[in-house]
Amino acid sequence: MTEGGLLIIVAHPDDETLGCGGTLALHSEMGKPVKVLCLTCPDDERRRELKKAVEVLGIKELTVFNEKRLSDENETVNRISDVIVSTRPEIVITHLNFDYHREHRLSSELVKEAVEWAAHTTTYAEPWRVDRLLEMEVNTLIPNAHVLVDITKTFNRKMEAMECYSSQLVKFPDGYYQRFTKLKAELRGVQGGCHYAEAFIEEPLTKNSPFYQSKSTSNLFRGAK
Amino acid sequence: MTEGGLLIIVAHPDDETLGCGGTLALHSEMGKPVKVLCLTCPDDERRRELKKAVEVLGIKELTVFNEKRLSDENETVNRISDVIVSTRPEIVITHLNFDYHREHRLSSELVKEAVEWAAHTTTYAEPWRVDRLLEMEVNTLIPNAHVLVDITKTFNRKMEAMECYSSQLVKFPDGYYQRFTKLKAELRGVQGGCHYAEAFIEEPLTKNSPFYQSKSTSNLFRGAK
Amino acid sequence: MTEGGLLIIVAHPDDETLGCGGTLALHSEMGKPVKVLCLTCPDDERRRELKKAVEVLGIKELTVFNEKRLSDENETVNRISDVIVSTRPEIVITHLNFDYHREHRLSSELVKEAVEWAAHTTTYAEPWRVDRLLEMEVNTLIPNAHVLVDITKTFNRKMEAMECYSSQLVKFPDGYYQRFTKLKAELRGVQGGCHYAEAFIEEPLTKNSPFYQSKSTSNLFRGAK
Amino acid sequence: MTEGGLLIIVAHPDDETLGCGGTLALHSEMGKPVKVLCLTCPDDERRRELKKAVEVLGIKELTVFNEKRLSDENETVNRISDVIVSTRPEIVITHLNFDYHREHRLSSELVKEAVEWAAHTTTYAEPWRVDRLLEMEVNTLIPNAHVLVDITKTFNRKMEAMECYSSQLVKFPDGYYQRFTKLKAELRGVQGGCHYAEAFIEEPLTKNSPFYQSKSTSNLFRGAK
Amino acid sequence: MTEGGLLIIVAHPDDETLGCGGTLALHSEMGKPVKVLCLTCPDDERRRELKKAVEVLGIKELTVFNEKRLSDENETVNRISDVIVSTRPEIVITHLNFDYHREHRLSSELVKEAVEWAAHTTTYAEPWRVDRLLEMEVNTLIPNAHVLVDITKTFNRKMEAMECYSSQLVKFPDGYYQRFTKLKAELRGVQGGCHYAEAFIEEPLTKNSPFYQSKSTSNLFRGAK
Amino acid sequence: MTEGGLLIIVAHPDDETLGCGGTLALHSEMGKPVKVLCLTCPDDERRRELKKAVEVLGIKELTVFNEKRLSDENETVNRISDVIVSTRPEIVITHLNFDYHREHRLSSELVKEAVEWAAHTTTYAEPWRVDRLLEMEVNTLIPNAHVLVDITKTFNRKMEAMECYSSQLVKFPDGYYQRFTKLKAELRGVQGGCHYAEAFIEEPLTKNSPFYQSKSTSNLFRGAK
């Protein structure tokens, strides 16, 4: 896989599209490597839908764990950090730690832990330090967003990717998810001064572990190395 | 004043040096505009000491409020945001919101509020949006730092600036503050893989107000515009 | 004033309309007494706008405090509880305690306090116990709503009331507030299974004070006395 | 089972009686369906005691899980929500989320989760939405109660039900639980203006999931539909 | 005043008796210096009642501030720390930081602050370091007590002291406070294995300030110096 | 084993030395029984290192669990409380509940739980009540310490014990842990007014369970029985 880029880690197939499909497509169009890790997969149908959706979003790198339910085990943290080390993303996006969905909250916690361990020189021969961790909104809304990404250019692809999940959409009458997703993007768009946007929480990464290769900086201005 | 750069906002003369004197001197040497706002000033002696200390740190822009004690008033928020709007800093540094010192905690709260209001188009003809808000450690330690700045190059100037506060240092036997400050910088240096460092908490800024000129982004990667 | 009904307590003119204008109009149409208390008023223009807006919403009882800014004083709590005791509402609605706006958070805190003191037999000859306290969303979104009120019937009146605040709307380009308010109501409508809705947090009232006339119940089922 | 009524979900046999036996008996006497789910059962003796105690309280519907210890598993949430869906209660009562007992805290968390999933149209053909969730006190006291139920009429039956747990009562010298329970009920009675009372925390239910059949209301007044 | 002993700091006359009158009388009987600071005083009648009550409890040192309401000012912190420095208590007791009463919560915050400043060598020529800070319960109950003091020996004097507050007791029908206080003491007694008890929260004191004369220990076992 | 003394419970071999090796050696030299429980052990080499290190610290009682990773199970709580009951310590020290390391946080939670259950008369024929629970710092710093222990006398033995962990030290370049540990002890020493110190959080123990043999006191002064 290509070093750098953006890795989205979600609990279930479709979360990546609902939460930040526009952002994924946008960075993909820019030529940034965009990668997906899905922590559970209920069955083959969902897996096929996921595959199609990420293709629509222009994503080529997809990893799917086979578990049907997400559970709180050390082993899961290890497997996630293995993926982080092998995909080497600058940015990781995952679920809100205050999501109403229990497996979303658990994903958020496990991913944060995996980001820490992926940087340890004692665990990996070639550890990897993620630069930025963001949390996205699916059904639970972020009260005060830190980041609003303008997805006007890729909003249609987000909606198209969503249509791949017919097994899910059919569960809701009256195009629930299509309407919810469109209105949420418009509302965030008004807030962000653009047509459509996606909202994120910034989760600053601590640098406390002694197991990092280096962790000081000598220039606080963004964009500086 | 010059647009951009770094503004440090502290409760008392000497907090700027103890908390992040090395970082201030470092960015000053880089040619970045570095500015100080001190929210209280007990007397003329402290004011003279502050003036000398910021000179040693290479800082030219200093604002001092005349109040002897900091109090929780709307008016104080307004005055701080006025300074932010007129100095137009990219980065603001202030006290920890969990500092043991009540006026430090209050500074932290008032500054956060002022950063928000400084960006409002309805309050200012030329509002200003701070890009980054950091919190520093004086006597209360940060348990898990988000940012460690390598101050090896400017550590001596930090110590020299501290010596300007003779009215304060004399209160403590056995060079308390000199030893405390040196050891803290060395400990943070070991953590950061350098000789001397200063530690900070990153306080992500929310973008919820409708009173911002623009608040969306179209590239999540650091250094991108 | 008529006993019972609903009292909305807001920090500024227009908060009542943006936050829950649809709900106010709805209950007003049902024949419930609906009352407004506005804790500050910047000037006569805003006062005139407020008067017009509440008329559009079908509200007849309006109290406005003359202060320009809201401050954290015992006296303010007393004045709010005086209004609660004289208007005797079953339901009180106010701001979110996690609103991004400092005066909204403070309103939330002061109102909660006033609801407590209004029920004290030692403070009032005829104390009043509010039955239900709700918090509404203006610019800060509620992540997980407890209550969604279907305002499809009164949505147009909400938008009409909003138009009364021309001094405010003019501050924002491109009909910001009109679009934001409409989309928020539509998004909440999708969540609530209706066209337009408003979202609320339920803030359960504690019953700890010894100064209540009575505070036990003998039937837990809603609608029971 | 009969739709509606009250379901109490506890960690161990005797928690239902100690926590809210008076409230259960009271609603049972009113003719409301009252149901018990006990999440663990150490042995046959405890099971027999539980059966006798709920009979004394006038309860006919009892479900007991056979596990000896409560553990934090998705499967347990599923089994609890199955019981909620089959018993269809308006009100659910469980343990405090700040109880000193680890299994009580865990019960509280699992029950809250199960209440959410029981309402999902995607999980159940006939989902069920609980109207009200309350938390009761066993040994950990509620600092500020939201609800005090007058159990003067059924206090004797509560004490009688408690006597069924002879295997437990014998562990404590000097009638510890009898005295503790009586004094707690009297203290809550003084607070509630009656002879004996039981105290509860109201835990408002969020309505964020898209998987609900309907979740908006058009009348905020209690007792309205 | 005599160095050492116990200082109780309360918001209103009668809080000292209701919250921990038994504990005050108990330590007074043991010959420990027991002192009272009351932060507000509504009128002369309450002052006379307070004087009589503390006499009944065997307390000789009483300080009363004349303010009618407690407000959040730096000056109040200073005045409290002045009293701590002049009375030099080993133990300070005050209100719960989660009390339902706003002035009780504020007392708790101001006292904690004053305890810190009283120990500063830079503020006082003869600073004083309190050894232990406890919080007591008046109407809000402590869910999980850290300390239960057996007041069996002095319970009657507590009740007698309470009777001094006839201006307050008369506000409540049916001997509310007498019954509440007696039952609370009995309930805490059952928990503590004695007839009557009073419950407390232990609030560990931080030792972060550089302004302390000394703050290390060389023996962790209680009772060691 | 000897009743009384101090029990340190850590997640991994070397935590006991890094966190509070000086304090352990100090109390050992005083003749207090000092005991170690290590909750995991990766392999025989680490076990040998641990054995050597505790010998250097003058500790004779060591218990090691064989698990490679720490997991959140009821069974682990039981095994820890068994060790507490058999070693009967007055003081227990463990990890910070806000440590950056997940297994440290989990240790902290499990130990707190085990301390509770060890005191239950219903679980043990001879239950044991720990008097004091402290939390120590390894890599995560305590922002505001409650206790600073002067380890000047035993600092060299701490450093010597650390050298036993050659399998760990070798993982870090430039004597990372030696330098970090020395500077941390010096910094805490400056704060504590001595050469070297170790910092702790005091975690007050609640006394809510009915399963204690006795839990009231009749003298609040330290050192009293």
How sure is the predictor about B83, in pLDDT bands with cuts at 50, 70 and 90?
very high
- Chain F residue closest to B101 (CA)? F144
Residues in chain D within 8 Å Cβ distance of E176? 190
CA-to-CA dists, residue A1 to A84, A88, A89, angstroms? 11, 8, 10
Q: Report the pLDDT averaged over residues F102-110.
A: 96
Percent of chain A with pLDDT over 70: 98
- Chain D residue closest to F121 (CA)? D171
- Among B149, B202, B216, beta carbon nearest to A204: B202
- Name the residue among F108, F129, E191, E104 with its Cα closest to residue D137: E191
Residues in chain F within 8 Å Cβ distance of B142? 141, 143
Percent of chain B with pLDDT over 70: 98
pLDDT of residue A224: 57
Better-predicted residue by pLDDT, A24 or D209: A24
pLDDT of residue A220: 85
pLDDT of residue E173: 79
- Among F71, F101, F140, beta carbon nearest to A74: F71
- Judge whether residue C1 has pLDDT over 60: no
- Judge whether residue C116 has pLDDT over 80: yes
CB C158 within 8 A of CB C25: yes
Question: Is F in contact with D (3 or more beta carbon pairs below 8 Å)?
Answer: yes
Residues in chain E within 8 Å Cβ distance of B176? 210
- Among D27, D193, D220, beta carbon nearest to C214: D193
* β pairing state of E147-150 and F216-217: parallel
CA distance E176 to chain C (A): 8
User: How far is residue E129 CA from its own chain's centroid?
Assistant: 17
Taking only the tens place, the pLDDT of each residue in B40-70 is: 999 999 999 999 999 999 999 999 999 999 9
CB A115 within 8 A of CB A205: yes
Q: What is the ipTM of this complex?
A: 0.94
CA distance E103 to chain C (A): 10
Residues in chain D within 8 Å Cβ distance of E184? 187
- Chain B residue closest to C171 (CA)? B122
Residues in chain F within 8 Å Cβ distance of B187? 180, 183-184, 187
pLDDT of residue E122: 85
- Name the residue among A183, B4, D222 with its Cα closest to residue C204: D222
- Name the residue among B55, B218, B201 with its Cα closest to residue B141: B201
- Among B113, B208, B211, beta carbon nearest to C102: B113
Contact C171 B121 (CB under 8 A): yes
Q: Which chains have 3 or more CB–CB distances shorter than 8 Å to chain E?
A: B, C, D, F
Contact C223 D219 (CB under 8 A): no
Window A:177-206, CB contacts with B under 8 Å:
189, 191-194, 197, 201-202, 204-206
3-state secondary structure of C145: coil
How many angstroms separate the first and last alpha carbons of chain E? 24
Q: What are E178's two structure tokens? A: 């007498």
Contact C69 B74 (CB under 8 A): yes
Residues in chain A within 8 Å Cβ distance of C180? 187, 190-191
- Among F72, F122, F209, beta carbon nearest to D100: F209
pTM of the model: 0.95
How sure is the predictor about C223, in pLDDT bands with cuts at 50, 70 and 90?
low
**What's phi and psi for C68, nearest 5 deg?**
-85, -30
- Judge whether residue B22 has pLDDT over 90: yes
- Chain E residue closest to D187 (CA)? E183
3-state secondary structure of C196: coil
**CB contact A172 to C (< 8 Å):** no
Taking only the tens place, the pLDDT of each residue in C164-221 is: 999 999 888 789 999 999 999 999 999 999 999 999 999 999 876 777 777 788 888 8
- Judge whether residue F178 has pLDDT over 70: yes
Better-predicted residue by pLDDT, C155 or C2: C155
Residues in chain C within 8 Å Cβ distance of B122? 171
How far is it, in rounded angstroms, from Cα F47 to Cα A152? Answer: 59
CB C225 within 8 A of CB D165: no
Question: Is F in contact with B (3 or more beta carbon pairs below 8 Å)?
Answer: yes
How many angstroms separate the first and last alpha carbons of chain F? 24
Residues in chain B within 8 Å Cβ distance of C102? 77, 113
- Among A141, A180, A183, beta carbon nearest to C141: A141
Taking only the tens place, the pLDDT of each residue in C186-197 is: 999 999 999 999
Residues in chain F within 8 Å Cβ distance of D140? 208
Contact E180 C210 (CB under 8 A): yes
Contact E116 B100 (CB under 8 A): yes
- Judge whether residue B225 has pLDDT over 70: no
Q: Spell out, as residue ranges, where chain E has pLDDT lower than 70.
A: 1, 208, 223-225
How sure is the predictor about F171, in pLDDT bands with cuts at 50, 70 and 90?
confident
Q: At what angle do helices D176-192 and D15-29 cross, to 10 degrees?
A: 50
3-state secondary structure of A10: strand
pLDDT of residue F225: 44
- Judge whether residue F130 has pLDDT over 70: yes
Classify each residue of B104-142 as buried b or exposed e, where b means 16 or more C-beta atoms within 10 Å of its C-beta. Answer: bbbbbbbbbbbbbbbbbbeebeebbbbebbbbbbbbbbb
Burial of D62 (0-12, 13-18, 19+ CB in 10 A): middle
Window A:30-49, CB contacts with B under 8 Å:
30, 32
Average predicted confidence (pLDDT) for chain A: 93
- Judge whether residue F213 has pLDDT over 80: no
Q: Spell out, as residue ranges, where chain D has pLDDT lower than 70.
A: 1, 208, 223-225
Q: How does DSSP assign chain F, residue by residue?
A: --SSSEEEEESSTTHHHHHHHHHHHHHHHTT--EEEEES----HHHHHHHHHHHHHTT--EEEE---SS----HHHHHHHHHHHHHH--SEEEEE-TT-SSHHHHHHHHHHHHHHHHHT-TTT-SS----SEEEEE-SSSPPSS-SEEEE-TTTHHHHHHHHHT-HHHHTTSGGGHHHHHHHHHHHHHHHHHTSSSEEEEEE-PPP---TT-S--EES--STT--
Window B:119-158, CB contacts with A under 8 Å:
131-132, 134, 143-150
* β pairing state of D34-38 and D6-10: parallel
Average predicted confidence (pLDDT) for chain B: 93
- Chain A residue closest to B214 (CA)? A193
CB F93 within 8 A of CB F134: yes
Other residues' Cβ atoms within 10 Å of the Cβ of residue A78: 16
CB C211 within 8 A of CB C121: yes
How far is it, in rounded angstroms, from Cα C185 to Cα C202? Answer: 19
pLDDT of residue F209: 74
CB E12 within 8 A of CB E107: no
- Tell which of C148, C187, C191, C201 to mutate to test the A interface (max A CBs under 10 Å): C187
Look-up of token digits 């502050």? B50
pLDDT of residue D224: 57
Residues in chain C within 8 Å Cβ distance of D218? 26, 149-150
Q: What are D130's two structure tokens? A: 């609980």
- Among C201, C217, C223, beta carbon nearest to D148: C217
- Tell which of F71, F72, F74 to mutate to test the D interface (max D CBs under 10 Å): F74
CA distance A2 to chain F (A): 28
- Judge whether residue A95 has pLDDT over 50: yes
- Chain E residue closest to F5 (CA)? E221
pLDDT of residue E225: 44
**CB contact E106 to B (< 8 Å):** no
**What's phi and psi for B213, nearest 5 deg?**
-70, -40
Contact B187 F190 (CB under 8 A): no
Taking only the tens place, the pLDDT of each residue in A43-70 is: 999 999 999 999 999 999 999 999 999 9
User: How far is residue F161 CA from its own chain's centroid?
Assistant: 15
